[in-house]
Amino acid sequence: MSENTTTTTTAPTENLRERALKLDAADPLAGRRALFALDDGVYLDGNSLGALPVHVPARVQDVLTRQWGELRIRSWDESGWWTAPERIGDRIAPLVGAAAGQIVVGDSTSVNVFKAVVAAVRIAGEGRDEILVDATTFPTDGYIASAAARLTGHRIVPVAPADVLAALGPRTAAVLLNHVDYRSGRLHDLPGLTAAVHAAGAVAVWDLCHSAGALPVGLDEHGVDLAVGCTYKYLNGGPGSPAYLYVAERHQAVFDSPLPGWNSHADPFGMTAGYAPADGSVRGRVGTPDIVSMLTLEAALDVWDGVSVDAVRAKSLALTDFFLECVEAYVPAGRVVSVTPAAHAERGSQVALRCAEAEPVMRRLIERGVVGDLRRPDVLRFGFTPLYVGFADAERAARILADVLAEVPAGNTVS
């Protein structure tokens, strides 16, 4: 199953099924599944779009009918609309290891990446003209960073995360990295890389889209400067739910946003011609908040009440270990190869399998109720959201994968 393995184990199917049931029975997070709207299938695409918490529609109905329909403009004050970006940011903060007052919610991940990268090079100051960008990153991060570089007169330096240390130097202003690689599920060394960036005199910007809500991040503990993330994956905020921006408290007084909208003004209703930035994380705001989707997110975050991120991480690792074991047992040698690191310290909360027939295989998996996704040309991607995915789901998905592979003619086997 791993890159170095060409043989399969011989664990009987029934033993794996029995183990899965026992593991689910002992799982302290198993009760969380009932909080989500799920069908009888196996949903392994929460790393693209999290499942709907069952209580959210009623909360959204209240936003629409009472807060908007009855209170109307009064809801900016009476329903707390105006303070929602910071209030919801404070709810996300514990999930990424941040103290209150450092996260503001609003805009898309892409917009927040732009704010963060431009602000980072401005914090770094003159004499540094390079922005290092993860060469394997989600494409939009690269596009946005390149636009930020053009705006600020800097040069983009694409570099693999493993080569960041060698690429850092006196010209480095900022480094933009993904905490977890969206394609392979590899977890990068946030503490070590952040420390190295600081040692070089540069500013560290992290994209947390594939880690927040799946594993501990430790933004404050590890001295991260700026971070961004989406809320529709492991945080289950809904399609297109607003992203967030983390600005470490030590940088807030000098955070210079390239998008200084009226919402981030020190006196937004003064309507003055000159811009004066507000204090604190409010500086990360731009225009009028997208209230309906923002309050949908706020309601969705209720599923995290009483949940330890450490417990989520422990289950995530156990789930992905078990899924890999089941795939090893069920799938014929050579049909798939895991490109997700085996080492826990290097693994996010997904398993990516290279498969020569990835497109027809994923199509048939979805038809049979196992929903993952595809990263062309040959990667089957399965996301494990510990709040609602169980061990029986992992075993069933691996078993159906083996059935599908038996039906789909093999092309070039992978090694």
Beta bridge partners of 226: 205, 247
Catalytic, 246? Answer no
* Strand spans (E) along 14-121: 42-43, 103-105
- Given the residues 36, 232, 234, 323, select the one marked as catalytic: 232
Residue 242, classified by CB atoms within 10 Å of its CB into exposed (0-12), middle (13-18) or buried (19+), is buried
Catalytic, 225? Answer no
- Given the residues 32, 128, 186, 233, select the one marked as catalytic: 233
Owner of token pair 């930035």: 277
- Given the residues 138, 382, 388, 391, select the one marked as catalytic: 138
Catalytic, 22? Answer no
The DSSP string of 112-143 is HHHHHHHHHHHHH-TT--EEEEETTS-HHHHH
Tokens in use for 208? 């947390």
- Given the residues 32, 381, 396, 399, select the one marked as catalytic: 381
Catalytic, 232? Answer yes
- Given the residues 27, 181, 207, 290, select the one marked as catalytic: 207
* Separation between Cα atoms, residue 183 and residue 102, nearest integer Å: 29
Max intra-chain CA distance, the chain:
73
Catalytic, 115? Answer no
Helix pair angle (391-407, 358-367), 10° resolution? 120
* Separation between Cα atoms, residue 401 and residue 362, nearest integer Å: 9
**Active site amino acids:** 138, 207, 232-233, 381
